[in-house]
Amino acid sequence: VYDATNEHMLNEVFFEDVEIPVENRIGDENGGWKYATSLLQYERGDALLIGQFSRMLRDLAALTRKAGASEPERRALAQHRIDWEIGRLLTLRVVSLHAKGQLPDRESSQAKLFMSEAFQRLGVTAQGITGEFGNLTHEDGLSLLGGRVVQAIVGATTATIIAGTSEIQRTIIATRGLGLPR
């Protein structure tokens, strides 16, 4: 599946009437969903997003220093720096659990939910700072920050879908983390 910037970030795969020989099966019969959701806990603690967020924030700060940032822009960038630190600590918690041989459950969902939504907010700020030039892709000679603003906006939307939507993450946090009923 290609996004608005012609990048390939998502896949859609369907399996119908698949039969696996018993000797090739991993785990229990019909246990695939249980294994898939377990694997998603590893995908949700995505440290890559922390790096992308940090780079965009650093580049926006440099751009606004050159252009003379307004007070609201400086405040927004300061809030994004706080968001980055929170996301970094949430992600380090997931990494710490992995290192101890524990499966992060709600912790992965907390990190994924926070960072994907923080990245969306950063994209909105980036678009406000760069204006129309932020909508240009890296192929356009006039793009600011190498076209990464529009990629961040589209990518942030994708990040709220990958490994379960934000609503799914909230449900995981509520049921598994807080013990609330479905």
| Position 109 in a domain | yes
In 3D space, the residue among 41, 37, 67, 44 whose CA is nearest the CA of residue 129 turns out to be 67
| Position 22 in a domain | no
| Position 37 in a domain | no
- At which residue do the structure tokens 């076209």 appear? 147
Tell me what pLDDT residue 84 has: 95
| Position 23 in a domain | no
| Vertex 168 angle, CA 54 and 173, to 5° | 80
Q: What is the mean pLDDT of each run of 10 residues along the chain (182 residues)?
A: 64 82 86 74 67 88 86 94 96 92 89 92 89 75 74 77 87 93 90
State how many domains the chain has: 1
Tell me what pLDDT residue 26 has: 83
Tell me what pLDDT residue 153 has: 78
| Position 11 in a domain | no
Tell me what pLDDT residue 143 has: 67
Tell me what pLDDT residue 146 has: 73
| Position 8 in a domain | no
For the chain, what is the largest distance between any 2 Cα atoms, rounded to a whole number of angstroms? 66
Task: Tell me the CATH number at 60.
Answer: 1.20.140.10
Distances (CA, A) of 82 to 33, 61, 88, 160: 36, 14, 10, 20
| Position 3 in a domain | no
| Position 10 in a domain | no
The pTM for the full model equals: 0.78
